[in-house]
Amino acid sequence: MRLGCLFLLASILCVLTTPACSGGGPPDSGVGSVVIGLTSDLRVGVDIDSVHVVMHAAGAVVEDRTLSVTSTTAPLALPTELPFTDLPGGTAVDVTLDAFGPGSATIPLVSRLAATTIVAGEKLLLLVELDSRCVPGPGSSAPVCAAPQTCVAGVCVTDQVDPTTLPLYTPSWAGGSDDPCKPADAGAPVVIVGQGQADYLPMMNGDTDQVYQGPQGGHHVWVALRAKNLHQSGSITSITGHFPDLNIDVGPFNVIFTMEVDEGGYCKLYGLRFQVDETVNIDTLLGHPLDMTVTVTDSDNAVGVGLLNVVLSAAYLM
């Protein structure tokens, strides 16, 4: 009886104090994997044509290569996978990504860092986006982040990602869409043109559009739009104008701004300063009709076009 009790007690203590009694090994034994799921709202071959990838495991370089639209051995296509495969549990892994635009091989258009830890027995997915909101340039509010900070969704955050927050890897990870401006079942693109500096305001054909003098002396109207079934970020908005009675063309004015979610499945963009007197004195244009065309092209090459015919105000405001 005493031996039986001692054996039972020893078994209980073994289970409570260490997994080694059951042959499981310590929690961080074995191997695991992390797959970097690289995506971007920037357009391959238009906004970016190469991405320099450097991957580290336990501080050592395990991958250093450049993905390029002109390469046959390492082509650039997004989304893509960058795997850390079969590494010991507890191994620190990280990736550095520098994306370059056409014609620039020295100054990255946008950079991104990401780091996490291998979990034994798990294959995890770490999504990493090259985000247009992190691209510096005219009209951009993208921050400058010092490592180990990195730009995510237009703000500086740590590059470290807790592995307990990562989902399990599935081969279909890139197949869905969580873009509120372009759902997975998106129909044909729609663009509706209006006005507004601080919000979208509707306009009708024939309405008077107030002209303003800008801080550098040019004269502009404020253009806004509502769009549906076009990507929220990374879409190129292009505005052109034509004065039909003067046979004068204006523009194009091109920007890459992120849209805000609006009602009814639409997204909106406002505060677009469309200068009308780049080549002609403003006095020639005041009071004349202006045909505006707003074209939005997203990273899937979906194109939405909106038209609005207005009449410029007879005088401009300072």
Return all residues near 109 (Cβ < 8 A) that are at least 6 apart. Answer: 42, 47, 48, 99, 100, 101, 135
Model confidence over 190-220: pLDDT tens digits? 999 999 999 999 999 999 999 999 888 899 9
pTM above 0.75, yes or no: no
Q: Please answer whether residues 238 and 294 qualify as being in contact, where contact means their C-beta atoms are separated by less than 8 angstroms.
A: yes
Return all residues near 31 (Cβ < 8 A) that are at least 6 apart. Answer: 86, 87, 88, 89, 118, 120, 121
Can you list the residues of the chain whose pLDDT is less than 70? 1-29, 139, 175-178
Phi-psi category of 252—alpha, beta or left, where left has phi over 0 and alpha has psi -120 to 50?
A: beta
Please name each of the domains of the chain with its CATH number. Answer: 29-165 (2.60.40), 190-317 (2.60.40.1940)
Model confidence over 165-186: pLDDT tens digits? 999 999 888 766 668 898 877 8
Model confidence over 259-281: pLDDT tens digits? 899 988 899 999 999 999 999 99
